[in-house]
A and B are shown apart, each in its own frame.
Chain A
Amino acid sequence: MEYLVLAINAMLISNLVLARFLGICPFLGVSKRLSTAVGMSLAVLFVMTMASTVTWMVYHGVLAPLHLEYLRTIAFILVIAALVQLTEMAIQKLSPVLYEALGIYLPLITTNCAILGVSIDTIEKGYSFLGMLVYAVFGSIGFGIALVLFAGIRERLELSDVPKSWEGAASSLIVAGILSLAFMGFAGLIPG
């Protein structure tokens, strides 16, 4: 039950993009087409789970015992950057198909602040290892939901008749705002 609440919280109520406003760059940048949005979501799911796991272990295994908590930001960035690079190389070798599918989005994730955000979140909230896993997986699924929803809307927006000055980024940002408002509605999902 505890993990179910955690999952729903991570996925919907405090959605990374639409409630916490993390990872706005890929949210706006890679949401022009549905297919690329799905690719990006999968890449984030993959990297976020791995990065959170490793950073959780680095923090609780190395930094916390030595009372070097203040190093976590820089240490996490280092770990995430190396990890993404490593992942990219591994996927390229082991699964060229997946590599083709993820394409440019894999290296792009290095600069995705949602990854670092989730890593730091799990530490701040003092999750257990399992809690951290649930939080990371469902957090990235929430990211995927937001991205895919937004991409779907933008694809239709592309075909609709919009005033010239509202075309492109302008109307996209408005849509993002409305989507965010809609997600606020999930706040009542868990009482208390």
Chain B
Amino acid sequence: MEILYAVGILSGLGVLAGALLAYASKVFYVKEDPRVEEVDSILPQANCGACGYAGCRDFAKAIVSGEDIVCPVGGPSVAELVAQILGKEAAEVEERVAFVKCAGTHDRAKKRATYHGVKTCAAAHLVGGDKECRYGCLGLGDCAAVCPTDAITISRGVAVIDPEKCIGCELCVQACPVNVIEMVPKSRKMHVVCNSQDPPQVARKVCDVACIACKICTRTDKNFTMEGNVAVFTGSEGGLDTAPFVCPTNAIMDESKYRALEFVLSDAVREAFEQDKAAYKERERAERAKRAAARKAAQQKKAAAQAGGEANPATDKSAAKPSEDGDKKDDSKKSNESNKIDSSPADGDKKAKKEDKAPKAEDTGKEGE
């Protein structure tokens, strides 16, 4: 009997409370701005909080009450619809997508170890990752794991973000322990695909597509500036379609090239890439040879002008050059004590040694005469 009381009382209380609330919701009904509902129905309902409000509904309320805000996920199309409802001009909004500033795939970036630890970037970052470059993408997919739209794929050790799928929520930016992901305007055509702050000598050794701080881009295009040892795009939002310069290491690529390299990777594309690089190296070598030759000529002239009789040490040195490695120390000492003509003979030798064997041979030949 008593249990019936208990059941009765509780259900009675429940029904009473329910009835009361139902009645109250009628009596205390508050008219809400109908535009809130309308705006809310247009929003993406991702409830991601990227706008700074606690969800799409809050955002709708704020925008109806006159806040000048833009839904970063919906982009301009949503902004326009919202503006129509509110009878306002749409605020200019540049849709932003995430971009991984690293193209150091397995075949381009040198590895310093094989990583066998926990397969997350956060863990790998603790030991510095498996690449020689500490600034590159670790490729273990912490970003892909948090991406709500599966826009991120790991392609040969580097995360690649599909700008069409990216909704700009910035979750990956926060998840990345090396901060290699950056938000860029969706319309941007030129990308700096390097994040390395390594000094140029190091960077060029550890990765094929590293920014080597040659400053070709900053000198020819004011959209680029150097931040430490890496070039960054700081120009107007979209920027140029193609650059008026060739980045020697392809650390600055245009959109199509970047996509082709990452996704398709046909042999033809790869070959073109290699050819680009080879051509650049060739040019660079020629340039250097020319410079070395010019320097040598200048030195010679100087030496000849200073002291007719004292030209001997220089001749000595050049004679000794073919057998350089053995008595380099000797060599430099000799020239040091003899005169001040050759300010840094060892240095010059070293530079010339690798690149321009041929010009050197010519030089020595001339000198001999």
Contact = CB atoms under 8 A, between A and B. Distances in A.
Interface string A61-105: 011001110010011001101100110011011101000000000
Interface in B1-21: 2, 5-6, 9-10, 13-14, 17-18, 20-21
A149 interface: no
B20 A86 contact: yes
B21 A74 contact: no
A164 B29 CA distance: 49
A156 B38 CA distance: 43
B266 interface: no
A93 B21 contact: no
A105 to B, nearest CB: 14
Contacts of B20: 82, 86
Nearest to A104: B54
Contacts of B28: 89-90, 92-94
A71 B9 contact: yes
B30 interface: yes
Contact of A89 (B2, B9, B18, B25): B25
A82 B30 contact: no
A58 interface: yes
Contacts of A92: 28, 30
A78 B25 contact: no
Interface string B229-263: 00000000000000000000000000000000000
Given A82-B17, A85-B21, 13 more contacts: A66-B5, A68-B6, A68-B9, A71-B9, A71-B10, A78-B10, A78-B13, A78-B17, A79-B17, A86-B21, A89-B21, A93-B30, A94-B28
Contacts of B24: 86, 89-90
13 contacts: A66-B5, A74-B10, A75-B9, A75-B10, A78-B14, A78-B17, A81-B17, A82-B17, A82-B21, A85-B21, A86-B24, A93-B29, A93-B30
Contacts of A96: 30
A81 B10 CA distance: 14
Contacts of A62: 9
Contacts of B10: 71, 74-75, 78
Nearest to B14: A78
Determine the main DSSP class of B at the interface with A: helix
A81 B17 CA distance: 9
Contacts of A63: 9
Nearest to A81: B17
Contacts of A81: 17
Given A93-B29, A93-B30, A58 B5 contact: no
Contacts of A67: 2
Contacts of A68: 2, 5-6, 9
Contacts of B6: 68, 71
A182 to B, nearest CB: 35
Nearest to A83: B17
Contacts of A90: 24, 28
Chain B CB within 10 Å, residue with most, of A81, A82, A96:
A82
Contacts of A78: 10, 13-14, 17
A102 B2 CA distance: 42
A94 B17 CA distance: 20
A36 to B, nearest CB: 14
B244 to A, nearest CB: 46
Contact of B13 (A79, A85, A93): A79
A89 B20 CA distance: 11
A75 B13 contact: yes
Nearest to A96: B30
B160 to A, nearest CB: 34
A107 to B, nearest CB: 13
Nearest to A63: B9
